[in-house]
Homo-oligomer: A and B are copies of this chain.
Amino acid sequence: MARRLGRIFRGFQSLGSLAFMKSELSNLPASVSLKSMVRALPSLFSSNPRDFSFPNSSWGTEMRQLYEHYNSQCEAVTDGGEEQGGLWNRLPSYNRSLKYAAGGVYLSKIIQAKARLFTRNIRDPGAAFEYVIFANKKEQRCVCIFQAGHLLEGPPGNVHGGAIATMIDTVTGTHACVHSGPVMTANLNINYRSPIPLGSTVLIESSLDKKEGRKTLVSCKVTSADGARLHTEATALFVSIGVSQLMKG
């Protein structure tokens, strides 16, 4: 069971201040890729979950172009079934908790059944968080393309500081667990430099600063899609946790 859970966690994207994905890129046998683990995930759900990392009709031109830019450099499977290596991996993204999927009992049944990931809790495409995260194996960095919908308003016409913090937690947390396995957010330190207009597409780029024992430090910046305007800078500290801690109610 523990081994099975371990495999499940490796394929999961960050779920807020806990993060579940461990690619173990350097430790894995050559025959097991992050992508193949990720492909096995949907079968864990009772019904086929939607992977929100794929384009939808709400994505604007900038979002689509940036997606194509990174997606074209991802691992691919040829017609002959062979895997071709790539610089990047597109990370899948679901709206349901692992624990619910695994049938765990940790809260009232009502809350448990209805729980949804904060960043994926609104069904209307384009209304809230539209994003996709790519991980770069060699360069120890991640990039997220984020299109901010009209339901994320804070200052008139601009994205709420909390929505920006949410995406920073998501991207840096995903990055931390790509590198270190299951982690929990310990600190977020965010400097807001310029507002992000509602409806715009921005890039969130994270880089690994260091890993010391159970601590993983990631830094991050949010810029306009062309990289010309700096919106936000942040550092994030994550602490590794065991699977047993993860499953506690």
* Given contacts A107-B198, A160-B16, A169-B160, A188 and B187 within 8 Å (CB-CB): no
Copies of this subunit: 2
Whether the Cβ atoms of A15 and B165 lie closer than 8 Å is no
Residue numbers in B under 8 Å from A16 (CB-CB) = 153-155, 158-163
Whether the Cβ atoms of A111 and B199 lie closer than 8 Å is yes
- CA A159 – CA B111 in complex, angstroms? 12
Whether the Cβ atoms of A162 and B166 lie closer than 8 Å is yes
Mark interface residues in A90-127 (1 if CB within 8 Å of B CB, else 0): 00000001111000101110111011111101100001
- CA A127 – CA B123 in complex, angstroms? 14
Whether the Cβ atoms of A162 and B170 lie closer than 8 Å is yes
Segment from A39-47, A81-89, A189-197 that makes contact with B: A189-197
Whether the Cβ atoms of B111 and A198 lie closer than 8 Å is yes
Contact of A156 among B18, B119, B166, B168 (CB under 8 A): B18
Whether the Cβ atoms of B161 and A17 lie closer than 8 Å is yes
Q: Does A180 belong to the interface (CB within 8 Å)?
A: no
The interface size of chain A toward B, counting residues with CB under 8 Å, comes to 63
Contact of A117 among B108, B112, B154, B191 (CB under 8 A): B154
Q: Does A25 belong to the interface (CB within 8 Å)?
A: no
- CA A167 – CA B162 in complex, angstroms? 7
What distance in Å separates the Cβ of A72 from its nearest Cβ neighbour in chain B?
Answer: 30
- CA A189 – CA B97 in complex, angstroms? 27
Instruction: Show 28 residue pairs from A and B whose CB-CB distance is below 8 angstroms, ordered by the A residue.
Output: A15-B154, A16-B155, A16-B160, A17-B160, A17-B162, A17-B164, A18-B195, A97-B157, A98-B156, A104-B156, A106-B157, A108-B199, A114-B151, A115-B153, A117-B160, A119-B162, A121-B128, A154-B169, A155-B246, A156-B246, A156-B247, A161-B166, A162-B166, A162-B167, A162-B168, A165-B166, A165-B188, A187-B190
Please report A residues at the B interface, Cβ cutoff 8 Å. Answer: 15-18, 97-100, 104, 106-108, 110-112, 114-119, 121-122, 127-128, 150-170, 173, 184-192, 195, 197-199, 246-247, 249
